[in-house]
Amino acid sequence: MKGLAGAATRYRIMAWITGVLLAVMVCIGLPLRYWLLKDNWHSPVSTVYSIGWVLHGWMFVLYLAAALDVTFRMKYSVLKVLGVAVSGTIPFMSFVAEHFVKRDVTAKLMQ
């Protein structure tokens, strides 16, 4: 139980950062990049777009570390752990995962 609250906070922060960044990349970045610019890989927008994915990649590394940490402390089943882990790569799913993890952690802390 020790450290669970901190682990949950870390996970929730990363879930939001990763989720918002992924939503921006998918909802704004993708259409801008592929419908507006087509094959123009050398425009500054392409560079910013690529940097966005690099940033999401590193944020996801932190997300995964935090997610594994909190799900481990919660003694989640392997399937649930994988579900929470993969949520960081599916648009808007990290918000859903965050909701359930928060609910479970709150319930456990109340015991």
List residues near other proteins by CB under 8 A.
50, 53-54, 57-58, 60-61, 64-65, 68, 72, 75, 78
State phi, psi for 77 to the nearest 5 degrees.
-70, 160
Smallest separation (angstroms) from other proteins to the CB of 54: 5
Burial profile 47-69: b = 16 or more Cβ within 10 angstroms, e = fewer: eebeebeeebeebbebbbebbbb
| 50/106 with CB nearer other proteins | 50
| 9/46 with CB nearer other proteins | 46
Smallest separation (angstroms) from other proteins to the CB of 106: 21
Q: One-letter amino acid identity for 37?
A: L
